[in-house]
Structure 1
């Protein structure tokens, strides 16, 4: 378990510089000379933690983070309580990781806003997964689209307990009308990790479609994300 502190000075390191100082400089040089694609996920995480952990070897910490969460994106979006379970991860490291998460989300949101959402479906899936896959509570969010299928807004409508989010179809449609949206993509996460839709998920989606359709508002899909991947109700022919 993590102890809530980021940095502990090793008494043996008071003399000569620790072995990882040279490694850090070599990593920085490779990043500058060859670019970020030349570095693996754990090496990028190492570099991201340099500032937060100036007196620790960040390589084993980066590898532990990836082993626990699976990918760079899932590390930076992981809940704080789970990050703190990694030895050596404390406030400074979490702030650094959450800064990366915020930057990634802003960039992804900007990219989706500039593109036609349905022609970049993988971007939409990745955007939703990185923001929600490791959330410890269920969230229901909606991507509101215009007639060209471009993103008007991305809003979290409800946040629930570990396994239940109350969704009110009329509130969803009311918000769509306020934004003059002509299409919706519904998204929510399963904290259990299994994205398989429940009967309640299917029924709620059909209820929203039933109210939206007569008003000329299309529901393009309902995407469920989890640590184990994602599920599309449209792809599964459930709607």
Structure 2
């Protein structure tokens, strides 16, 4: 005849036997984010990118590098840290990795997407009459330089039809200064047989307003290039929130 102690022991053993079964049942359930991913992909496919917000586009980009976890929170954290989709893609890889749960793979994938976007923007002006594609020129310069942490000085070299011959990053400086050597600028233009230049540099502070030093340096390049038949069409300054044209401001 069994005792109460035997009954308790039997109940305890039955609970142990049932526990793995319950665990297996939970593991078999599909994560909730799988259905969300499919719905988001379908929205992109049927309605296009315009129907999606920035964080949803970021989610789509993160799907491949983070295959088995929720990406919505990560996408929103990236936007909170950097401000916009363009700023996320423009951020240095090391800063992307500082965001919680954005590992090396995801950060690298985002920079690959940014590189592809930059190539596309450059393709819009390559071999074309640049002055008639001014919006594309600005878009390209912003994609290339707006979110850099240090000042960069870039030159677009043009032929006699104002088509792009070369796009070269000449100098990288500090957060508020880039050394520029007018004679070297002109020497390189002569090597490429360029007859016109568009000067471009960025202000990491975000404010594209030309400084006195920017204006003086531009005028020195103009004066050095003019006797050799090389024109300076403009000097564009790129900031995070916009750009300034020295020609448009009547500074040159």
**Is the counterpart of residue 116 in structure 1 residue 133 in structure 2?**
no
Residue of structure 2 equivalent to 1:62? 75
Cα RMSD, aligned residues only: 1.6
Corresponding residue for 2:183? 170
The number of residues matched between the two structures is 227
* 1:90-115 Cα deviation digits (max 9, x unpaired): 21111111111111111111111143
C-alpha distance in structure 2 between counterparts of 1:212 and 1:31, whole Å: 50
- Given candidates 205, 218, 223, the residue that maps to 1:205 is 218
Judge conservation of contact 1:144–1:176 (CA < 8 Å) in 2.
yes
Q: Distance in 2 between matches of 1:119 and 1:68?
A: 37
Displacement of 1:36: 2.8
Q: 1:71-220 residue pairs with structure 2 within 5 A?
A: 71-220=84-233
**TM-score normalized by the length of structure 2:** 0.85
In the alignment, is the contact (CA less than 8 A) between 2:93 and 2:108 conserved in 1?
no
Q: Distance in 1 between matches of 2:38 and 2:52?
A: 14
Give the conservation status (yes or no) of the 8 Å contact 2:202–2:208.
yes
Is 1:29 equivalent to 2:42 in the alignment?
yes
Distance 1:123 1:71, change over 3 A: farther
**1:37 to partner: Cα distance:** 3.1
What's the offset of the Cα at 1:170? 0.5
TM-score after normalising by structure 1: 0.89
Aligned to 2:61: 48
Moved more, 75-84 or 22-31: 75-84
Deviations 1:124-169 (A, max 9, x none): 1111111111111111000111112111111000011222111000
- Gaps in structure 1 of 5+ consecutive residues: 1-12
1:231 aligns with 2:206: no
Q: Which residue of 2 aligns with 1:4?
A: none
Distance in 2, Cα, partners of 1:61 & 1:116: 42
Distance (Å, rounded) in 1 between the aligned partners of 2:211 and 2:28: 60
